[in-house]
Amino acid sequence: MALSKAPSAKAKAAPSKAKNVSSSDEHGRTVVPPGYKPRQTEPYMGPVMLEYFRQKLLKWRAEILQESDETLQELQEEGGLQEPDIADRASVETEVALELRARDRERKLIAKIDEALERIRTGTYGFCEETGEPIGIKRLEARPVATLTIDAQERHERLERTQRDERE
């Protein structure tokens, strides 16, 4: 069972006097400088870093939705399975099934992206759900929807394996 812990005051970094001074656009949104990449030397989950991850998540979400729209368009254009040869029809059915399964996984991923965007809005993004510790920039770059530190994720996976083994 994951405990929901808000980041401690220590976990949130104090404002920095680093070069990365945040500025805002006309809508009050933090502007991410061109070519920006989060660094260990800047405040963890400061305004620029949060906006960087927000934009990354939004872009990822848009790409998934675009691919999904293209898949639906292709399926509609095919108008059903018209292959006269049974082997060809089976091949097409397999391709469609695989494509639909991939889209279902992406639908679940969109839900995780939406949850991550909500964590950005609430100020809990980037912090472990179980420990409240920072998840880490490298992990978030690799998996922006991560909710656990690597250590917490490994504990979680070990517990799942143990429970699965006990049921078998």
Kindly tell me the sign of the dihedral angle through the C-alpha atoms of 78, 72, 56, 132: negative
Residues 144 and 167 in one domain: yes
Q: How many domains does the chain have?
A: 2
Supply the CATH number for residue 52's domain. Answer: 1.20.120.910
Alpha helices in 42-131 (DSSP H): 47-78, 86-122
* Domain range enclosing 98: 42-125
Whether 109 and 154 share a structural domain: no
Specify the DSSP class assigned to residue 134. B
pLDDT tens digits for range 152-165: 999 999 999 888 88
Task: Establish if 138 belongs to a structural domain.
Answer: yes
CA distance 58 to 158: 32
Query: What per-residue confidence (pLDDT) applies to 8?
Result: 43
Does residue 37 sit within a domain? no
Residues 138, 164 within the same domain: yes
pTM of this prediction exceeds 0.85: no
Phi, psi angle pair for 148, to nearest 5°: -130, 150
Which among 108, 125, 142 is the end of a domain? 125
